[in-house]
Amino acid sequence: MLLINYFYTTIALFTAASVFAVLLNYPVVWLSLYMPRKLAITVTFIGAVTLLLGLAMLIGLEVLNQGQSLLTQVRNTLNQPDLLPFLDSLKHLDIIQVIETLQTNLASGLGVVKSIFSSVLIGVFWAVISLYMLIDGEKLWKLSLRLLPVAYRDRFAKTFQQSFLGFLRGQLLLMLFLSGSTLLIFPFLGVNYALFLAIVLGLIDLIPGIGATLGITLVTLLVLASQGGEIALRVLITCIVLGQIQDNVVQPKVMGNVLELNPVLLFLSLFIGERMAGLLGVFLAIPIAGMIAAWMRSAKAEPNPVLEEVPEKIVEQ
């Protein structure tokens, strides 16, 4: 535990770089059909970094402005005299302190201004690590597989690709669906700060299992505190409908049977992941648990090669 906490930033950096490299590998594989792989990597990497920087420059300031305005409005609503008894009952939850902290952070650009050099440096390291992982990913993967017994390498590789990578890819697509659909619909419902709320909802939706529920709850409460009950009810109904579409229509198509976990095991994995590695553990707990479950299912379906050799040796004797 202490070791994980000590190297938390390093582990998070390499994990984020690994996930980014894995996601970029899909367009690289496709482009490699029409051009050399090195050129495909160059085109994909430059395009992805340019896209991310462009999005950050185009919508980053607007997101911060909307977030600051929203939290200011929520703060003013909570300061109304008729809400003081209710707020007194919630003092032990430190809700006001949380809102003040968020407001302060948003006003200061989420702390980026204070640590601009550190943020840029981490971003550069992340990009460089991702690039080298994309270039040497196959070599690193084969080197990692050598740590396993030969009899289990193929099954592990198949399980990892289908369960772990499949889950990460699917979760990203689900986030884009929920965030994008709410961004398009919220303005028609009369919701202010639609961009900020859609991004908040999408980011929380990345939390496996319970992310959509938490995100819908938070967004509904923010709208309730800033614009009143009628619009909040519209937001709640819309988000529930979109959540059902995500779970019952989109998720089966983008994930298939990747996430076949008992709900009890799902929540147990989340708690264990949070306890071991904080927020990073929460994001990785479910794909790791799903991979373990898939490994166990494949172990039942496939005979153990080590056990199969025993009868043959006995017959030879």
pLDDT for residue 94: 52
Rg (CA), the chain: 23
pLDDT for residue 317: 45
pLDDT for residue 242: 92
pLDDT for residue 295: 77
Nearest-10 crossing angle of helices 211-227, 229-245: 160
Domain ranges of the chain: 7-147, 151-303
- Residue-by-residue pLDDT tens, the chain, 317 positions: 556 666 677 777 888 888 888 888 888 889 988 888 889 889 999 998 898 888 878 787 788 788 888 888 877 776 666 555 555 555 554 555 555 565 565 555 545 445 556 667 777 888 888 888 888 877 888 888 888 888 777 877 777 777 777 788 888 888 899 999 999 999 999 988 898 899 999 888 888 778 888 899 999 998 888 888 899 999 999 999 998 998 888 887 777 666 667 777 777 888 888 787 777 777 788 888 877 877 777 666 655 544 444 444 444 44
